[in-house]
Structure 1
Amino acid sequence: MANTYTKIHIHLIFAVQNRQSLIHKKWHSDLFKYISGIVTNHEHKVLQINGVIDHVHILIGLRPTQSLSKLVKYVKQDSSKWINQNGYVNGRFSWQKGYAAFSHSASQVPQVIRYIQNQEVHHKRKSFREEYLDFLDKYEVDFDERYIFKPVS
C-alpha cells in the first residue's frame, strides 16, 4: 500500500488442544522456525518466538495487509499439518481454538522479547493458566470463565 506506514507489534499466545504436553524439545526449534516461515510468507515479521510443552508465544510485526485472525488461522492450520506430516506426535495434533493477542509499543518490544525468550524459566514458577489470566487482567480484557483454559488434571 503506497504511503501507508505502520509499526504494529502483537504478542500472540495459543495453546495445544486440551493443553496436552506435546511440544517436545527434540523438535520445538524446528516448529518455531516453521511457524516463523508461515508468518514471513504472509509478509509479517517474527520478532521473537518461543514456548513450552503446551503453548507458544510469538511477537509479530504485523502488516495491515491481512487481519490478525486470518494470520493466526494460517499459522495454526499449517503448523498442525506440518507436525502431523512429520509424525511428531502419536495421534493427531491440533491447536486449541482461540488465542490471545496483545499490542505493544516499540518501547515495550525489548521487554516482551525477553519475556518470550525466558518461557522455560518463567513456567517453573507459574502455570500457563496463571500466566494467561495475568495477561487478561493486566490488559483489562473482559472474558468468560467458561472459555478460559482449564487446569490440566
Structure 2
Amino acid sequence: MHVVFGTMGQRSYLLPDIRSQLVSYLSAIAKSRGTRLITLGGTENHVHLLLAIPARLSIESAVLPLKEASQTWLRQHFDNCKGFTWQKGFAAYSISRSQLESTMRFIQNHQQHHLHKSFREEYIEFLRYHHIPFREEKLFGN
C-alpha cells in the first residue's frame, strides 16, 4: 500500500536527518503492529510510505498508529518539532506486484521529484488525472 500524509499546514519540519531517523522508527513501529515498512521517502512537509499490510488489518488501523506514534516521537526527539502535528487523514493507494519496483523507485527518488513540483501541485494533478472529485479548499485545510 502506497500511503501519503503531510505535516499540518505543510510546514517544513522533516529535514533530511530527521527523515532518515524516521525510517528506522516507523519500521520498528510497523513491525510491532504486524505490518512492514518497505520504504519511505518524501520531503520536508510530507512522507510517502510503502507498506505491506496483512489482510486482517484495515488500512486505517495500520496507518493511524504510525502517524500517532511518530508524531509523539518527533516532538520528543527534535527541537524543531516541539509543536509538530501531522495533517488530518492520509491518502492510500493499492499497489499491484507489477507496480512494486516502480513505486519503490518513485518513493525513494521523491526528493528529486519535488524539485519541479510542490506537494500541493502533485496531489491536485493526481486527483484531476484520475477524475477524482475534490474541493481544493478542503484538501489542505488540515
- Identify whether the pair has TM-score above 0.5, normalized to the shorter chain: yes
Displacement after TM superposition at 1:136 (Å): 2.2
Unaligned runs of 5+ in 1: 1-9
Number of equivalenced pairs? 141
Unaligned runs of 5+ in 2: none
Runs of 4+ in 1 over 4 A off after TM superposition: none
CA RMSD between the two structures: 1.6
Q: Aligned partners of 1:51, 1:17: CA distance in 2, in Å?
A: 15
Specify the SS of the correspondent of 2:88: coil
* Cα deviation 1:11-61 (Å, max 9, x = unaligned): 000000110001012221001211121111111122211111000000111
Counterpart of 2:108, as a letter, is Q
Displacement after TM superposition at 1:90 (Å): 5.0
Identical counterparts, % of pairs: 34
Tell whether 2:44 aligns with 1:62: no
Tell whether 2:124 aligns with 1:133: yes
Tell whether 2:43 aligns with 1:16: no
Alignment-derived partner of residue 89 in structure 2? 98
Range with greater deviation from structure 2 (134-143 or 90-99): 134-143
Displacement after TM superposition at 1:84 (Å): 0.9
Counterpart of 1:41, as a letter, is S
From 136, 140, 148, the equivalent of 2:139 is: 148
Range with greater deviation from structure 2 (132-141 or 44-53): 132-141
